[in-house]
């Protein structure tokens, strides 16, 4: 029984760490703005996104990498250009019943 509880706690801890990384990635005003622009425009090149964000491509790339590492956005390279779009599947997980069950067990 104790071993089962330890495994369950470890599993819950791993799940918390997984979501912690996701929420840290989106817990930034600039990254939320990037996500909103991608929501409105779909797939975009950094060269088109930078003027909308009023930031340099290097600073924008920093924010895009954080979102990319958290799997919040996807990247497709076409020639020398990289195009970014929201990863809707991953965003659905952040709003999913799986996460809801951790905090509202009556809805599971």
**Model's pTM, two decimal places?**
0.80
- Taking residues 17-43, report their average pLDDT: 93
21, burial (CB in 10 Å: exposed 0-12, middle 13-18, buried 19+)? middle
Give Cα 103 to chain centroid, integer Å: 20
Number of H helices, E strands in the chain: 6, 3
Average model confidence (pLDDT) across the chain: 85
- Tens digit of each residue's pLDDT (9 = 90 or more) over 95-107: 766 666 656 656 5
Q: Percentage of the chain with pLDDT > 90? A: 61
User: What pLDDT, on a 0 to 100 scale, did the predictor assign at position 5?
Assistant: 44
């Amino acid at each position: 029984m104790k071993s089962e509880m330890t495994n369950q706690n470890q599993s819950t801890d791993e799940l918390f760490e997984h979501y912690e990384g996701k929420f840290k990635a989106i817990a930034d005003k600039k990254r939320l703005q990037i996500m909103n622009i991608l929501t409105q425009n779909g797939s975009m090149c950094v060269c088109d996104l930078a003027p909308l964000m009023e930031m340099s491509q290097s600073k924008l790339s920093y924010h895009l990498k954080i979102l990319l590492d958290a799997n919040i956005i996807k990247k497709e390279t076409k020639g020398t250009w990289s195009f970014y779009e929201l990863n809707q599947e991953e965003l659905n997980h952040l709003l999913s019943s799986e996460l809801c069950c951790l905090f509202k067990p009556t809805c599971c």
